[in-house]
Structure 1
Amino acid sequence: MLEHKTTFLLADDHSLIRQGIVFLLEEIVLDCEILQASTLSKVLETVETNPIDIAIIDAHFPDGNSLTIIPQIKKTRPEIKILIFTGIDEEIHALKFINAGANGFLSKLSEEEEIKQAIMKMQTYGQYISPVTQSLLMNSLQNPTIANPLNRLTEREMEIAEMYAKGLGNLEIANKLDVKQNTISTIKKRIFEKLNIQNIVELSELIKNNHQ
């Protein structure tokens, strides 16, 4: 009986990163087909037209955040296994990618041996959970706000946080909600404390990265 040839999709906007993974794949996977993509739109196009088994995808591309397309990829090909391979902080970002449907998360700072192990585990078991992500998953079961810090906010605080993220100021928000301006200032202070942030830029980033 012929063994199934594994089809990989390597998606990263840096060709050097893709080439590095190609070398590793050729070393550890005897029979595989390798497709490549450098944008999110190309990822979706490739997934729709090819029977991909394992997709190794960066978190950020010039045309957006891959978090937004994971559900779409899974809808198109439910059997596909997705490994996020990225330079962003695993402790801050891993859980939201796993929650979105990724089957593994690997830092680009990992040693070559760990990258090989991750790819082999994706091929054998369909997932790769690093010790860091494993610990985060355990903690998030006990404390759901770890996975998404925005869960710490009340409905009202979230509504106001989203207005700040859209660029509205205290006075505009106060007028929209028909409350006093100093009430909004107080809520803003509480939002910042709960999320452990210092400014609106950080707030916007949190909302962008943790939208449901």
Structure 2
Amino acid sequence: MINNNGDTLFFLLADDHTLIRQGMVFVLDEIEINYKAFHASNFRQIIDCITTHPIHIAIIDAHFPEGNSLQIISEIKEKKPDIKILIFSGIDENTHALKYLNAGADGFLSKLNEEEEIKQAILTMIKTGEYISPLTRTLLMHSLTNRNLVNPLLSLTDREMEIASMYAAGYGNLEIANMLDVKQNTISTIKKRMFKKLKIENIVELIELVKNHS
């Protein structure tokens, strides 16, 4: 629960798109709360804002030109543990919500929701300090018996994880084959098997997974 005794609520609206931030201002206006909003369009501005202002709720996009927000979540929580973080993003809630909650976010809200749902999510954040949508609640329940929902890399064998880390480090098939003293087509076969397990289609997605969950 956010306890500010009826005083002004301080929001950080962090998104690299001005229209998204302005849209959130309209939503906050309609909720009719006493608030002040600060804006940020990149990671540096986010850290500057939470350092210089008494932010209660940070509404942050999942992706910025500098990368995803997983790292910035932990940095915010380290600097200001009391700040509540709501990830507000257009990325798929089914496949991404749990990793952001696991990283320390207090809620995940899809930009695809209707305005009324967005209002309710913000009000819930104000009242309880967290927002878990029905979809994410179901994912959390399933994750109790299926750890792969939280970290898909757990489905990989030790060998596959070793190779995935090499791809993430920038090595190609031939380099990895030489380093592991195996044939190049063996690495290609393992790569295809990893793609199937992780339900991805290319190296870029694999590298993103390794970065997010290592």
For residues 20 and 189 of structure 1, do their structure 2 counterparts lie closer, same or farther at Cα, with a shift above 3 Å needed?
closer
TM-score, normalised on structure 1? 0.92
Query: Could you say which residue in structure 1 is the equivalent of 2:168?
Result: 165
Matches within 5 A, 1:73-92: 73-92=76-95
Candidates 58, 61, 70, aligned match of 1:55: 58
Does the aligned pair in 2 maintain the 1:106–1:115 contact within 8 Å? yes
Does the aligned pair in 2 maintain the 1:10–1:18 contact within 8 Å? yes
SS of match in other structure, 2:213: coil
Unaligned runs of 5+ in 1: none
Deviates more, 1:173-182 or 1:141-150: 173-182
Figure out how many residues of one structure are paired with residues of the other and give that number. 211
Query: Could you tell me how far 1:2 is from its partner in structure 2?
Result: 5.5
Once residues 8 and 2 of structure 1 are traced to their aligned partners in structure 2, the CA distance between those partners, rounded to angstroms, is 16
Once residues 65 and 95 of structure 1 are traced to their aligned partners in structure 2, the CA distance between those partners, rounded to angstroms, is 14
Higher RCO (CA-CA < 8 Å; seq separation 6+): 2
Deviates more, 1:72-81 or 1:178-187: 178-187
Does residue 186 (structure 1) correspond to residue 189 (structure 2)? The answer is yes
Does residue 211 (structure 1) correspond to residue 213 (structure 2)? The answer is yes
For each residue in 1:44-68, what CA deviation from the matched residue of structure 2 results, as whole angstroms up to 9, or x when unmatched?
A: 1101111110000111112221111
TM-score, normalised on structure 2? 0.92
Matches within 5 A, 1:1-212: 3-208=6-211, 210-212=212-214
For residues 30 and 202 of structure 1, do their structure 2 counterparts lie closer, same or farther at Cα, with a shift above 3 Å needed?
closer
Once residues 5 and 193 of structure 2 are traced to their aligned partners in structure 1, the CA distance between those partners, rounded to angstroms, is 61
SS of match in other structure, 1:3: coil
Once residues 75 and 168 of structure 1 are traced to their aligned partners in structure 2, the CA distance between those partners, rounded to angstroms, is 33
For residues 196 and 77 of structure 1, do their structure 2 counterparts lie closer, same or farther at Cα, with a shift above 3 Å needed?
same
Which amino acid in structure 2 is aligned with residue 211 of structure 1? H
Deviates more, 1:198-207 or 1:52-61: 198-207
Aligned residues with identical type, % of pairs: 64
Which amino acid in structure 1 is aligned with residue 213 of structure 2? H
For residues 3 and 169 of structure 1, do their structure 2 counterparts lie closer, same or farther at Cα, with a shift above 3 Å needed?
closer
Once residues 204 and 4 of structure 1 are traced to their aligned partners in structure 2, the CA distance between those partners, rounded to angstroms, is 44
